[in-house]
Structure 1
Amino acid sequence: MKLNVTDLLKKRLNKLDKNFKHFGDDLAYLTLTSRNDGTLKDLLGIQLLRNSDSETVAREIARLDLAILDNNELSNIIKLKSVYVQDFEQNPTVEESNAVKSIKRDIEDNLNKIVNPPKSWTYTVSEDAKLHFAAIYVDVQAKKKFELPETKTEFLKLYPELKEGDLVYKSIFRHREARDYSIEEIIEPRLQSAVFNPILDNNSDIYIKKGDIEELYKGKYKDFKVQVYLQTYEVGQGPEPEDVEIDEAVIETVDFEPNEVEATIEVDEIVKEARKTKENKSSSDTLNDNKSKDKDSKKDTKKKDKKKKNKKKK
């Protein structure tokens, strides 16, 4: 199965968005009150199941978030990690932020399971097995005219449901004004220097394919605005595979809603019936014309015979 985690998650979220009026706000609430990677892992697992043919979509086996197996052979591992954007920003008292540390630990741990599978595993690992690491970046800002309490304790008294209160409080505190740098400028240099460069230096036969940072969803909850971004990294053994470009001018797909398909079928049937009626009418008119001609021809023959008989009598 060829995987694109970003496309799969967006596809599943779009399905939900069409059915729920407060979709973005509901997800904003879940993001602020719990770890949203659990919710997204559920949705991604469902979408993988819908897209699979004969593959098995496994969850939480051998401490893997999601795994794809084909005939008991593991071909893909997927790991989702949720971190706050503000946790990437430089802190003079800390050499490496908690966000960078946790991402580095998770990638190295899951990659090692592909390169050196544990002996306790009851399934084999494919030679071209891949790790798909999905980094979920959470950005929280306060609405206009919001007055941030002086301490985190006071903040949590106002909003006791915010389980991740420490990170939410820090995010709002640091972003009361407009951010000086884009999210890409904050995140990517940290990950490249602290996570990916060391992995590539220590593993010459490993490639890392980086995806763009894309907005996954946004919403509001009480006095807060939540924006969630997704970036995926494909890590595998050997040289990086080349992307196959598809000529959109040659291959074009069109999606129809069910009612549009039914309407199209009805129109086609009406057109076919009209053509059939027209053809039958045309055939009938031709037949009648031929009968009329035959009748006229017989009348002319009778008249000629009658004239010949009259001449003979004279």
Structure 2
Amino acid sequence: MKVNVTELLKKRLNKFDDNFKHYGDDMAYLTLTSRNDSTLKDLLGIQLLRNSDKETVAREIARLDLAILDNNVLTDIIKLKSVYIQDFEQNPTVEESNAIKAIKRDIEDNLNKIVNPPKSWTYTVSESAKLHFAAIYVDVQAKKKFELPATKTEFLKSHPELKEGDLVYKSIFRHREARDYSIEEIIEPRLQTAVFNPILEEHSDIYIKKGDIEELYKGKYDDFKVQVYLQTYEIGQGSEPEEVEVDEEVVETVDVKPEEVEASIEVDEIIKEARVNQENTSKIDTSKDKDSKKDKKKKSEETENKKDKKKDASKKKDNKKKSKKKKK
């Protein structure tokens, strides 16, 4: 099965967007009051199951968020990690930010399970097994009329339901000043320097394929505006596989609504009926052509017969005249 975490999650979230009026706000609530990577992990697991053929989609086996097995052979590991964007910013008193530490720890732990599978596992690991690391970046702002309490303690007392209240507070606090740099500028250089370069130095026989940072969803809860982004990293053994060009003639299958199916069936029936009518018309025209040719041939033969009769009659007259002359 081809695994593209970004496309799979977007496909599943689009189903919610189509069916639930308050989809964005519901997701914003879940993001702020729980670990949103758990919610997205569930949704991704469901979409993987829908896209699977004969593969097994496993949840939480051997401390893996998601795993794909083909005939008891592990082919893909998927790890989701949720962090707040401002948590990447360097703290003068700390060597590495908490976001960097968390991502580095999770990637190294899951990668090690591919390179050195535990002996206790009852399944084998494919030589081409991949780790798909999905970094979920959360950004929270406050509505214009919201007044941020002077201290973080006061803020947490007023919003006890927030799962990561201190990080939400920091995000709102930093957004009071205009951000003059992009998300990519704050995240990617730090990840490359602190996480991926050391991993590539330690494991010379692996590759890391980086995805773009894309907005996953946005919504509102209470006085807060929530934006969630996703970036995926594919890590595998050997060299990075080349992109396979898709044949333009191959038709991609898509989910369709029942009414679209009915409409499609109607169109198919109309096309079939038109083809049948065309074939019948063609048969009639062919038959007419044959009859017309027969008629022409018959008329031609009749004309020739008349000419022959005239010739015979003319010969008889001539013969009579000749015989009269001889008698005289």
Question: Shorter chain as normaliser: what TM range?
Answer: 0.7 to 0.9
- What SS does the corresponding residue of 2:91 show, helix, strand or coil? coil
Kindly tell me: are residues 48 and 291 of structure 1, through their superposed partners in 2, closer, same or farther at Cα, counting changes over 3 Å?
same
Of 247, 251, 254 in structure 2, the residue corresponding to residue 253 of structure 1 is: 251
* Displacement after TM superposition at 1:213 (Å): 0.8
Which residue does 2:195 correspond to in 1? Answer: 195
Which residue does 1:76 correspond to in 2? Answer: 76
Greater shift, 266-275 or 54-63, is seen at 266-275
Separation in 2, partners of 1:17, 1:263:
28
Separation in 2, partners of 1:88, 1:41:
23
Which residue does 1:241 correspond to in 2? Answer: 240
1:268 aligns with 2:274: no
Which residue does 2:316 correspond to in 1? Answer: none
* Displacement after TM superposition at 1:290 (Å): 8.3
What amino acid does structure 2 have at the position aligned with 1:241?
E
1:62 aligns with 2:65: no
Greater shift, 29-38 or 261-270, is seen at 261-270
Which residue does 1:53 correspond to in 2? Answer: 53
Which residue does 1:14 correspond to in 2? Answer: 14
Q: Deviations over 1:219-244 (max 9, x none)?
A: 11121111111111111122x32332
Which residue does 2:147 correspond to in 1? Answer: 147
Greater shift, 288-297 or 186-195, is seen at 288-297
Alignment of 1:115-264 (within 5 A): 115-238=115-238, 240-246=239-245, 250-251=248-249, 253=251, 257=256, 258-264=261-267
What amino acid does structure 1 have at the position aligned with 2:150?
E
Which residue does 1:278 correspond to in 2? Answer: 281
Separation in 1, partners of 2:92, 2:297:
108
Which residue does 2:40 correspond to in 1? Answer: 40
Q: Deviations over 1:25-57 (max 9, x none)?
A: 111111111111111111111111112122111
* Displacement after TM superposition at 1:132 (Å): 0.8
Separation in 2, partners of 1:201, 1:293:
91
Kindly tell me: are residues 283 and 128 of structure 1, through their superposed partners in 2, closer, same or farther at Cα, counting changes over 3 Å?
closer
Kindly tell me: are residues 95 and 260 of structure 1, through their superposed partners in 2, closer, same or farther at Cα, counting changes over 3 Å?
farther
Greater shift, 271-280 or 224-233, is seen at 271-280
- What SS does the corresponding residue of 1:32 show, helix, strand or coil? helix
Separation in 1, partners of 2:204, 2:59:
30
Q: Deviations over 1:109-164 (max 9, x none)?
A: 11111111111111111111111111000111112232111122322343332222
Q: How much identity, in percent, do the aligned residues show?
A: 74
Alignment of 1:83-102 (within 5 A): 83-102=83-102
* Displacement after TM superposition at 1:273 (Å): 3.8
Which residue does 1:303 correspond to in 2? Answer: none
Separation in 2, partners of 1:26, 1:132:
26
Separation in 2, partners of 1:39, 1:228:
13
Kindly tell me: are residues 260 and 241 of structure 1, through their superposed partners in 2, closer, same or farther at Cα, counting changes over 3 Å?
farther
TM-score (norm 2): 0.83
1:2 aligns with 2:2: yes
Separation in 1, partners of 2:177, 2:272:
62
* Displacement after TM superposition at 1:107 (Å): 0.5
Which residue does 1:312 correspond to in 2? Answer: none
- What SS does the corresponding residue of 1:219 show, helix, strand or coil? strand
CA contact (8 A) 2:217 2:228 kept: yes
Separation in 1, partners of 2:79, 2:237:
17
Kindly tell me: are residues 286 and 149 of structure 1, through their superposed partners in 2, closer, same or farther at Cα, counting changes over 3 Å?
same
Gaps of 5+ in 2: 304-328
What amino acid does structure 2 have at the position aligned with 1:62?
A
Separation in 2, partners of 1:24, 1:235:
31
- What SS does the corresponding residue of 1:226 show, helix, strand or coil? strand
Structure with higher Rg: it is 2
Gaps of 5+ in 1: 301-314
User: May I ask how many residue pairs the two structures share in their alignment?
Assistant: 308
- What SS does the corresponding residue of 2:110 show, helix, strand or coil? helix
* Root mean square deviation, CA, Å: 2.8
Greater shift, 153-162 or 77-86, is seen at 153-162
- What SS does the corresponding residue of 2:277 show, helix, strand or coil? helix
- What SS does the corresponding residue of 2:43 show, helix, strand or coil? helix
- What SS does the corresponding residue of 1:127 show, helix, strand or coil? strand
